[in-house]
Amino acid sequence: MNMRRRLSSVCVIVIVLTSFFVGTFAVYAEEVSDADGASKDYNAANNNQNIGDNTFSDNSNKDNDNNSLANSLPAPDEDVAKIDVTDIEIDEYKNMITIDETVELTVMVLPAGATDSVVSYISSNPSVATVSGAGKVKGIAKGDVIITISAGGVTRQIAITVTGAATTGIELDKTLLVLKPGQTYRIVSKVMPADAPQALTFTSLDSSVAYAAADGTVKAIRSGNTTIMISNGDMSAAVTIIVNANSAVQLRDATDMALLQGGDVQDTVTGDAIANGSNADIQTFVSLLTVSDEIIKINVADYPLLTSAMLRSIADTDKTIDIYGDDYVMSLRGADITNTHNELLTQIDFTRSDKGQSFTINEGGNLPGVVRLSADCGQDDAKLYLYNASKKKYESVDFAESGVKPQAHVYALNISGKYLLTADNPNPFSVNKVILIVVGAVLVIGIATYIVVKRRYWFW
């Protein structure tokens, strides 16, 4: 009993002491926490004061720097060096435009370092043409307008004419003329459409050969070639001029006049078109090519020679010419002409013999291109052979070299020389030579075999 009371008293004392110490420690901790808070607040205040001091110091320094910079700059009323504009340079421009067409002006203010280099553009009549701040001029209606260009007190002006619709083409009555020195011809031209600029200029690229007047009249001066350029400022066209001193240029009858004016003529030209008794008029020949879309048929008697000018006109027009001779027809296509300098003799003389028919084309001269020859030697299975002078024999013609598929009795020739039309072998002696060679080879082989077999009797 007493023991229990003692234990209870001890427990009470322990509890009381524990409560005392816990309370004392809590009060001490609160005081320490308050002291730390006060210290932090004090430090923060000191830091803020230091930051403020630094800020004030920096602002003071900046103010001093600004005051120094301000003092170093010139006062607003002080004079600054100024470079005046002396000129405005304008690049080449199109002085004639159509409605809705836009052209851009390119200008340069001089000198390059001018102070006031801003360029301004003003149109004298915006209802005719407008101009943007960038110098783009646009046609609005037909008329004339002045564009004023200004910069730094300097002014320049240019004149621009606004025409109708844009040109779509210039039609010409001729694109190729063959003239004789001293002859004249007036080129007839038309600008399309009708409301496009109609004023034309005619310019010769070589006035020493032929020159052109303002109305389109061309006069030949000397032999040679040149080109007449026709322009309305919007589009250009060209006429090729060939001046040939040997051409018969005079117009002799109504047939020639009809040819030159594009009238109707028959496809076959007869002896009425012969000039100087042998060569047909080149102008008539060229005109004939332009007025007919069919194959042109001429006679050897009228055109015994196709000159370089004629060959050029055939090639330019891409027409086909059939030349009729005795028992043959020579055909020449414009697309097949490769060298117009190789003039072509149209006369072919056939010589009949027991071998067949032989002939020489162009008298052995180089051909202008592939020439088609239609001839009949009376043999359906006839073949064409070309004589090889170095080998002194005829060789079969390979038509694959001409690029033309062979037809019955139509031979495509691209090599000049002597030809033979025959159904027989033109080289019979060559066959005999082959037989002799074969027989000789057999004999040699036989003798060699006999010697090999009988060699054991050689010393008997």
pLDDT tens-digit map of 110-119: 998 999 999 9
Are residues 300 and 270 in contact, defined by beta-carbon separation less than 8 angstroms? no
How many whole angstroms separate alpha carbon 16 and alpha carbon 12? 6
Q: What pLDDT shows up at residue 438?
A: 76
Average pLDDT over residues 229-253: 72
**Top-level class of domain 169-243:** mainly beta
Q: Above 60 in pLDDT, residue 403?
A: no
Among positive and negative, which fits the CA dihedral 361, 363, 365, 368? negative
Looking at every residue in the chain, the average pLDDT score rounds to 74
3-state secondary structure of 178: strand
Q: What pLDDT shows up at residue 212?
A: 92
Of 424, 413, 425, 416, the C-alpha closest to 389 is 416
- Ranges of CATH 2.60.40.1080 domains, the chain: 87-163, 169-243
Question: Structure pTM?
Answer: 0.36
Q: What percent of the chain has pLDDT over 90?
A: 25
Q: What pLDDT shows up at residue 275?
A: 33
How many whole angstroms separate alpha carbon 17 and alpha carbon 7? 15
Please indicate whether residue 294 or residue 175 has the higher confidence score (pLDDT).
175
Please indicate whether residue 378 or residue 215 has the higher confidence score (pLDDT).
215
Among positive and negative, which fits the CA dihedral 264, 345, 372, 354? positive
Half-sphere exposure in the Cβ direction for 126 (13 Å, CA):
4
Compute φ and ψ for 136, nearest 5 degrees.
-90, 120
DSSP letter for each residue of 307-334: -HHHHHHHHHHT-EEEEEETTEEEEEEG
Query: For the chain, how far is it from start to end, CA to CA, in angstroms?
Result: 173
Q: Give the tens place of pLDDT for each residue, 311-369.
A: 888 888 888 888 988 888 899 998 899 888 888 999 888 888 877 888 888 888 889 99
Name the CATH topology of 87-163: Immunoglobulin-like (2.60.40)
Model confidence band, residue 109 (pLDDT cutoffs 50, 70, 90): very high
Q: What pLDDT shows up at residue 23?
A: 54
Q: Name 105's Cβ contacts closer than 8 Å, sequence gap at least 6.
A: 90, 91, 93, 121, 131, 135, 136, 137, 147, 149, 158
Average pLDDT over residues 192-219: 90
How many whole angstroms separate alpha carbon 265 and alpha carbon 288? 8
